[in-house]
Structure formats: structure tokens, C-alpha cells
């Protein structure tokens, strides 16, 4: 559930950032930055608190696309940095 919510936040951030491609800081680019940071925080929480508490073998049942949330964390933080550079 946390991963799905984080991915939705990342999608909302991409929608908000569409008008900031000019490099001019806008309220939407700031919103995109904040959404991306929130998504990364959710994913970090899932990695730190939720995954270790799963019963043995339960992680094997996770979708292979979801198993490495660290890649999504890095992607979210990278895009947040790009939004900050545009501002």
C-alpha cells in the first residue's frame, strides 16, 4: 500500500512539474518537489520498518517490480533534485 501511494505521489509530481520545464520556479514545481520528497519518505519507511517486520518468506511473495524500492527512492530523490535545480 505504501509503495502504491508513493508511486501515485510520483505521478502527481510529474503532472505538477509539467509547467516548470522553462526553468522558472512556479508553485507547481515546488509542489512537485514536495510530492517527490514525500514519496521517497514513504518508500524509505517501508524499507526501514515494514519489510523487516514481514514474516520469513513473505518478501518472496512480493511483486518483483516492488521488491527493490531503493530504486524508486533514488529515482524520486533524483527527480526532486532536478526540480530544485529548475527553481
Q: Would you give per-residue pLDDT tens digits along the chain (87 residues)?
A: 777 788 778 878 877 766 555 555 677 777 888 888 888 888 888 888 887 787 876 666 665 555 567 778 888 888 887 777 655
37-55 confidence digits (pLDDT tens): 888 888 888 888 887 787 8
Put simply, whether the predicted model's pTM sits higher than 0.85 gets the answer no
Distance of CA 29 to the CA centre of its chain: 15
Report yes or no: 18 and 36 within 8 Å, Cβ to Cβ. Answer: no
Domain locations in the chain?
1-14+26-47+68-87
Distance CA 53, CA 45 (A): 12
Distance of CA 15 to the CA centre of its chain: 14
Amino acid at each position: 500500500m505504501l509503495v502504491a501511494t508513493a508511486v501515485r505521489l510520483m505521478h502527481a509530481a510529474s503532472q505538477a512539474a509539467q509547467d516548470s520545464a522553462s526553468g522558472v520556479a512556479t508553485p507547481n514545481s515546488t509542489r512537485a518537489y514536495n510530492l517527490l520528497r514525500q514519496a521517497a519518505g514513504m518508500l524509505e519507511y517501508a524499507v526501514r520498518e515494514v519489510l523487516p517486520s514481514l514474516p520469513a518468506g513473505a518478501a518472496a511473495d512480493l511483486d518483483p517490480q516492488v521488491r527493490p524500492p531503493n530504486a524508486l527512492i533514488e529515482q524520486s530523490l533524483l527527480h526532486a533534485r532536478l526540480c530544485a535545480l529548475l527553481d
